[in-house]
Chains A and B, each alone.
Chain A
């Protein structure tokens, strides 16, 4: 995973979220990377029930650790914030 570019991670993240939410009529590219996924203003919305599901899926998919729930909400706020977090974790030598 560490060789992925930020754009790769963003695309994979968008696909993953659509898969988790079981949404078939939205293309990954239609999800804004900048608009909050939690606010209801993006084309799709992650509700509070889905937050943990997304956190666990990101951990598994990108082999990163998100154990702090408050930080988790900030991390999954936008596609950009998820991708930046994943890339930062991959750049740290001892990430788990």
Chain B
């Protein structure tokens, strides 16, 4: 087994990346990785594929790695497979060379978690750090300790089908520049985030997406076959904001931590103020989560309650518009 420092993280992709970078000798925190990668985002989407609209509060899975690489110059090897045997063989070969390997997997097959905790999510990330017989040694940023996983489970996880299928994806850092321009990376990360939140010309993305969410939520009963389905989908708002590796409040808390660290790197205390503001915005998103879970549980799903929820969401849109407009002026 490779001597690998296992650390828990708020989010699996940024946490896995952070742990791999730390192992490779780059001391960096998860919030910094997340912020430099412009991880925070918002989207409200209704597609013909799904009965209900869905929300997301981060950039597309996999982009954290790509953006981090682009903004820092760290080079990663990324490889996908169609042949599970070949994927396993190459993983084993890397482990024999003492290289910890990041993998994309379906969370459901990570059976070191209790059954009641596991759901099918194709975009979970782990680090494999060794193999003992038929078991892999796994560092999962959501698990308190290093865990063991049977090779059959890992294979199922790596080659699960469906939306965002992992296709055996493995990755690891191969080259870290001697001098990483952290200040530049931080500023580039912020600029891209500001663009994503304010300037993307799509009515369902960024702050415009939050506004659309606030506008449309009172119309959600029209999508529902029955009250139970409506309640379930209202509760999914809470799940998407609080329980999908978001670090709480739809990634707003982890972004606040990034801004706090940015103040030190950029030697500018104004970013401490931004961190405080983002933390407060996070608290307001948590209120949205709590409100949604309460009305879902109490089946109090009338138009008035949903309009009230919409007002809370609109308030957050106003705050984020103001926040990112101000952040834009700071660089």
Interface of A toward B, CB cutoff 8 Å: 36, 38-40, 48-53, 56, 66-74
Contacts and interface: CB of A to CB of B under 8 A. Distances in A.
Contacts of B290: 52-53, 56
Nearest to B11: A70
B195 to A, nearest CB: 27
B293 A49 contact: yes
Contacts of A72: 242, 248
A68 to B, nearest CB: 5
Contacts of B238: 49, 52
Given A49-B238, A53-B290, A68 B116 contact: no
B15 to A, nearest CB: 9
Nearest to A66: B248
A74 B143 CA distance: 9
6 contacts: A38-B117, A40-B116, A48-B239, A49-B238, A70-B10, A72-B242
A73 B235 CA distance: 17
A39 B116 contact: yes
Interface string B91-135: 000000000000000000000001011000000000000000000
Contacts of A38: 116-117
Interface string B233-259: 001001100110111110001000000
A72 B142 CA distance: 11
B181 to A, nearest CB: 29
Contacts of A67: 247-249, 253, 282
